[in-house]
Amino acid sequence: MPIYDQLDTWIDDHFDEQVRFLQALIRVYVILIIAYILTQLFFGFGGRVPYNRYFTAVIGFLEQVVAPYLNFFRRFIPPLGPIDISPIVGILLLQIVGGLLVRIIRG
């Protein structure tokens, strides 16, 4: 097997790892957005949780990770009454851009 074939195989494997990592990263971020939406809905409908250090840490983490991304869309997309569609737009854009990046990396 010539060295060029080995190099091509190594490059293809390396790019496949990067593609899988990017897909996993996008999937995890979408899950975090959905978890953030669900917690906001819970509190929006009057749900109250007694003070719990771990729950507060999880809510704080979701707020710090997801809110800046969604706030970008909230600047341009006004809420439709009580409905905020910025998470939907954010998830769709994340999926579209992620799909494009995957196609670019795969070639």
For the chain (length 107 residues), average pLDDT per consecutive 10? 63 75 93 93 79 84 94 88 88 94 83
Residue 18 in tokens:
């990067």
DSSP label of 47:
-
Confidence (pTM): 0.82
Q: How far is CA 48 from the centre of its chain?
A: 26
pLDDT of residue 17: 81
pLDDT of residue 68: 93
> Amino acid identity of 64?
Q
- Contacts made by residues 31-39, CB under 8 angstroms, sequence distance 24+: 32/62, 32/65, 32/66, 33/66, 33/69, 33/70, 33/87, 33/90, 33/91, 33/94, 34/91, 35/62, 36/62, 36/63, 36/66, 36/67, 36/70, 36/87, 37/87
pLDDT of residue 43: 81
